[in-house]
Amino acid sequence: MSSLQDATLKTFETLQPGDQVELQHEVKVGFRTWKTTTVGTVVHAERRRHGLHYRRNPDDKVFSDVIVLQRETGELTTVTLDEFSVLRKLSSASATANS
């Protein structure tokens, strides 16, 4: 695991609702790939179990790290972290509350 992946996972584990974050990630559609940045306020972050894989062993657990963000426009968006994601905190909820 790279140091960027480590830093992203450590940041993910400390997320609280109200934190401002910036997420750089890759979008893939067919053979096309491009990088994009999503900025927003954390509404919810969790490690979610899912069954996206066909014909897996029933006790084989598959998890994704998911963040629900509210963008500046009020739009809610859900992003899933992968090995190419880079997550940065712009400000924390506790720092905003103390201001």
Least confident of 21-25, 52-56, 94-98: 94-98
Torsion on CA atoms 73, 76, 82, 87, rounded to nearest 10: 50
Residue 7 maps to which CATH number? 2.30.30.520
Token duo for residue 40: 């927003």
Mean pLDDT for 89-93 is 82
CB 93, CB 16: distance < 8 Å: yes
Query: Is 34 part of a structural domain of the chain?
Result: yes
Number of domains in the chain: 1
- Between 64 and 53, the more confident residue is 64
Chain centre distance of CA 68? 8
* Burial label, 73 (beta-carbon count in 10 A; 0-12, 13-18, 19+): exposed
* Domain span including residue 9: 3-93
Confidence of residue 51 (pLDDT cuts 50, 70, 90): low
- State the Cα–Cα distance between residues 62 and 50, nearest whole angstrom: 6
Q: Specify the residue for token string 């657990």.
A: 61
Query: Is 70 part of a structural domain of the chain?
Result: yes
Residue 91, C-beta contacts closer than 8 angstroms, at least 6 positions apart:
19, 20
Query: Is 20 part of a structural domain of the chain?
Result: yes
Query: Is 22 part of a structural domain of the chain?
Result: yes
Q: Specify the residue for token string 């998911």.
A: 66
Query: Is 52 part of a structural domain of the chain?
Result: yes
Query: Is 61 part of a structural domain of the chain?
Result: yes
Query: Is 98 part of a structural domain of the chain?
Result: no
